[in-house]
């Protein structure tokens, strides 16, 4: 993060060598791969970054790990961007988002959307760039320091925002950025991937006649939310990790088109006569 790539590479390689030798791979251990990919990419070694991605992809497939895979794909996207290959960067960042949407990675969403706004600007698609910049800005508000605190990336992001604003003009830029900021996360991802926006689901005032695709586990979680349990309490009740419980809650909110737990409570009140799936 301070820009000392030779020292970073030496330290990360030591850690990677030890884990390869022990073959004990926890999620934090696997996260060494995307770190090393970024270091390789920023050092201009895209070949090394791609080799690391292949190794990480195989490891994640064997272990069923998707969160680390999403970062491995995203960081190779950064490597290609640093190498000046916008199309490869676009492909990798979109692939990263496709995986991230299944693990609810709020920080990862922001990183990918921010970088994809640079790609759009570099391609001369200034309105799309402004929409994505507005969406990314909104995402960063709830996270804090943008782009993981990497000063060079933050500075580059500022330059692309300034360039986009200057090209479009203040009024046009603000209109596009505000549109992006007002889009729900799933709509932003659909916009990035060229998919049809998700169909809005009726809110509490318009209770649907059946559950909108909730799985059995999500129904259980929604029931516990309606009973007033916190994420920690839900995790304890269902004997799952708190992060897993939080992921279920996020998916329930997304499927119902809600933003607050209280909306789930109100919606569940109207479902009491319906059998669980």
Confidence of residue 276 (pLDDT cuts 50, 70, 90): very low
Find out whether 93 and 74 touch, Cβ atoms under 8 Å: yes
Contacts of 103 by beta carbon, 8 Å cutoff, 6+ apart: 66, 67, 70, 247
Find out whether 269 and 275 touch, Cβ atoms under 8 Å: no
Find out whether 159 and 151 touch, Cβ atoms under 8 Å: no
Return the axis-axis angle of helices 32-42 and 67-82, rounded to nearest 10°. Answer: 0
Per-residue pLDDT tens over the stretch 91-103: 999 999 999 988 8
Find out whether 136 and 117 touch, Cβ atoms under 8 Å: yes
Mean pLDDT of 78-88: 91
Least confident interval from 156-170, 191-205, 239-253: 191-205
Mean pLDDT of 221-233: 88
Tokens representing residue 250 in the block = 């996020």
For 260-273, letters b (16+ CB in 10 Å) and e give ebeebebbbeebee
Q: Is the pLDDT of residue 273 over 60?
A: no
Q: What percent of the chain has pLDDT over 70?
A: 91
pTM, 2 dp: 0.69
Place of tokens 């990314």: 136
Q: Is the pLDDT of residue 90 over 90?
A: yes
Find out whether 26 and 66 touch, Cβ atoms under 8 Å: no
* Dist CA 120 CA 245 (whole Å): 35
Q: Is the pLDDT of residue 17 over 90?
A: yes
Per-chain mean pLDDT for the chain: 85
Q: Is the pLDDT of residue 194 over 80?
A: yes
Q: How many CB atoms lie within 10 A of CB 197?
A: 13
Q: Is the pLDDT of residue 208 over 80?
A: no
Number of helices (H) and strands (E), helices first, in the chain?
15, 0
Among 110-124, 194-208, 232-246, top mean pLDDT goes to 110-124
Least confident interval from 34-38, 42-46, 205-209: 205-209
pLDDT at position 158 is 87
Q: Is the pLDDT of residue 142 over 70?
A: yes
Q: Is the pLDDT of residue 243 over 80?
A: yes
Q: Is the pLDDT of residue 122 over 70?
A: yes
Return the axis-axis angle of helices 185-193 and 126-141, rounded to nearest 10°. Answer: 150
């Amino acid at each position: 993060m301070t820009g000392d790539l030779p020292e970073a590479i030496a330290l990360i390689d030591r850690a990677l060598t030890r884990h390869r030798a022990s073959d004990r791979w926890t999620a934090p251990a696997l996260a060494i791969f995307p770190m090393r990919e970024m270091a390789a990419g920023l050092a201009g070694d895209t070949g090394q970054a791609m080799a690391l991605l292949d190794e990480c992809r195989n490891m994640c497939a064997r272990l069923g790990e998707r969160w680390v895979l999403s970062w491995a794909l995203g960081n190779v996207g950064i490597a290609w961007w640093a190498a000046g290959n916008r199309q490869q960067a676009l492909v990798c960042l979109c692939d990263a988002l496709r995986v991230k949407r299944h693990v609810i990675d709020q920080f990862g969403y922001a990183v990918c959307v921010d970088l994809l706004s640079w790609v759009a600007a570099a391609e001369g698609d200034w309105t799309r760039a402004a929409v994505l910049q507005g969406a990314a800005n909104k995402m960063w508000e709830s996270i804090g320091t943008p782009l993981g605190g990497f000063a060079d990336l933050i500075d580059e992001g500022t330059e692309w925002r300034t360039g986009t604003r200057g090209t479009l003009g203040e009024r046009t830029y603000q209109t596009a950025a505000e549109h992006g900021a007002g889009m729900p996360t799933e709509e932003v991802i659909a916009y990035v991937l060229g998919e049809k926006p998700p169909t809005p689901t009726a809110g509490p005032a318009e209770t649907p006649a059946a559950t909108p695709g909730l799985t059995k586990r999500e129904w259980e979680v929604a029931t516990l939310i309606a009973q007033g349990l916190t994420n920690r309490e839900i995790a304890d009740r269902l004997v799952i990790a708190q992060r897993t419980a939080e992921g279920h809650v996020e998916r329930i909110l997304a499927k119902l088109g809600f933003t607050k737990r209280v909306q789930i409570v109100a919606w569940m009140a109207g479902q009491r006569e319906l059998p669980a799936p």
